[in-house]
């Protein structure tokens, strides 16, 4: 596996997904804000929708679909990795010292499930008699759940030069990055085949790096990378990534695209998605807004071998940037030409389709006006049910981490 991507639309060869599990049933009206949800999905239906999504990808492309839980179980066979991962997961409750007592009482699969779905005091008391648990409320979490894990786009991103291991903005998602980094570093399918682009070495033992999330990272063209400066991605991380990817000739330009710090502009891929070499689907309001964009280029190399960056600031719309980068650009508007439909369907990620090949996309069935506009432009639209998957406010691209595509 190459673990490098030259485009967002080449025919899919390998992808990573996570089937929603018990972590979704941990959501309540009292904690959904903490876990970055605005509603509580119905897990059984959500799983059926996700199963159909995964089957559609395999049937339409023949791509290898890796499942996160399977990969996690594989790496947790290592005694050191399972101990380190439980100590990390128990940090928030300040119960790291319980890791060695908990692990022998759970199977490897149960350990993997606990790292994603969490574990409550009452559940742990059934397996572990410990004085450290006596004064804790029955329904409090010893390990908190990660209900956002099915949004596999965010914890890492594969770009032209390798893999960016992301650093999540909010505490409730930081373990997702930890798990993904552990898999890339240690799983035999990946560990010999990837080049880490972020975070920089030496590793900070506390993981204190500027934040970046994979939904803000888009392979704009073979030689250009776009990264959204958003509520979840910091300018400092973008500059560090630019210094890494510009070391080689594989990337010549890194665009830093400023986004409003609003929920409906959470990531850059909620604003536009590239579905062919000259075709994008966009949210019109955001595309026309004039915000600052910075272009980072390689100016030279200092005596220590570090890339010296030159930065050009442009006060142009995102659409203007795309027109400068992509020849003969064609734009499909989310919601068609109706602004009401555009705002409704952008809320449910109409512009966040998943390209499985040139002009072949998977889209939520609920975004009927966007889907019609795509078909009118000659795009093959494969629809998936979305009554529950969409409640987390993420689309088909959000739920997939593309690992390998056919190069052009």
- Known catalytic residues? 398
Around Cβ 209, how many Cβ atoms within 10 Å?
Answer: 19
- Of 7, 4, 16, 9, residue with least CA distance to 361: 9
Cβ proximity of 96 and 90 under 8 Å: yes
DSSP summary character for residue 203: P
Report the sign of the C-alpha dihedral through residues 310, 313, 318, 324, in that order.
negative
What does the alpha-carbon distance between residue 340 and residue 181 come to, in Å, rounded to a whole number?
41
Any residues with CB less than 8 A from the CB of 219 and at least 6 apart, and which? 5, 6, 7, 8, 159, 160, 225, 226, 274
Cβ proximity of 141 and 115 under 8 Å: no
What does the alpha-carbon distance between residue 324 and residue 292 come to, in Å, rounded to a whole number?
15
Pairing of strands 307-317, 290-301: antiparallel
DSSP summary character for residue 194: -
Cβ proximity of 106 and 89 under 8 Å: no
What does the alpha-carbon distance between residue 348 and residue 356 come to, in Å, rounded to a whole number?
20
Residue entry with tokens 């128990």: 90
In total, the chain counts a number of residues equal to 408
Instruction: List Cα–Cα distances, 223 to 41, 161, 251, 253, in angstroms.
Output: 40, 10, 4, 7
Q: In sequence order, what are the beta bridge partners of 292?
A: 315
Q: From start to end of 270-306, where are the E strands?
A: 272-276, 279-282, 290-301
Q: In sequence order, what are the beta bridge partners of 89?
A: none
389 φ/ψ angles, rounded to the nearest 5 degrees: -55, -35
């Amino acid at each position: 596996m190459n673990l490098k991507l030259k485009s967002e639309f080449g025919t899919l060869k390998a992808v990573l997904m996570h089937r929603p599990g018990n972590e979704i049933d941990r959501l309540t009206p009292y904690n959904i804000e903490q876990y970055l949800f605005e509603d509580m999905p119905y897990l059984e239906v959500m799983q059926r929708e996700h199963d159909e999504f995964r089957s559609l990808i395999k049937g339409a492309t023949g791509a290898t679909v890796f499942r996160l839980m399977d990969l996690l179980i594989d790496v947790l066979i290592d005694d050191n990795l399972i101990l380190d991962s439980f100590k990390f997961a128990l940090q928030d409750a300040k119960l790291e010292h319980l890791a060695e007592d908990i692990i022998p009482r759970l199977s490897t699969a149960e350990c993997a499930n606990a790292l994603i779905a969490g574990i409550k005091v009452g559940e742990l008391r059934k397996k572990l008699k410990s004085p450290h648990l006596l004064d804790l409320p029955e329904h409090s979490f010893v390990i908190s759940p990660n209900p956002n894990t099915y949004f596999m786009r965010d914890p890492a991103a594969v770009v032209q030069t390798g893999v960016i291991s992301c650093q999540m903005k909010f505490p409730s998602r930081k373990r997702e990055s930890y798990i993904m980094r552990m898999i890339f570093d240690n799983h035999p399918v990946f560990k010999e085949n990837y080049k880490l682009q972020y975070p920089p070495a030496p590793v900070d033992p506390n993981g204190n790096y500027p934040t970046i999330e994979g939904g803000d990272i888009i392979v704009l063209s073979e030689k250009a990378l776009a990264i959204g400066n958003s509520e979840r991605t910091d300018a400092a991380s973008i500059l560090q990534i630019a210094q890494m990817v510009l070391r080689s000739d594989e990337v010549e330009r890194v665009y830093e695209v400023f986004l409003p710090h609003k929920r409906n502009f959470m990531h850059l891929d909620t604003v536009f998605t590239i579905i062919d070499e000259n075709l994008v689907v966009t949210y019109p309001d955001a595309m026309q807004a004039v915000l600052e964009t910075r272009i980072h280029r390689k100016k030279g190399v200092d005596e220590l071998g570090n890339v010296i960056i030159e930065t050009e600031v442009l006060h142009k719309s995102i659409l203007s940037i795309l027109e400068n980068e992509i020849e003969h650009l064609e734009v499909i508007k989310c919601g068609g030409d109706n602004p009401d439909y555009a705002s409704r369907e952008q809320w449910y990620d109409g512009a966040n389709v998943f390209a499985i090949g040139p002009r072949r996309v998977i889209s939520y069935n609920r975004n009927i006006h966007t889907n019609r506009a795509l078909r009118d432009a000659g795009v093959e639209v494969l629809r998936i049910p979305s009554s529950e998957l969409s409640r987390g406010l993420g689309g088909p691209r959000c739920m997939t981490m593309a690992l390998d595509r056919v190069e052009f």
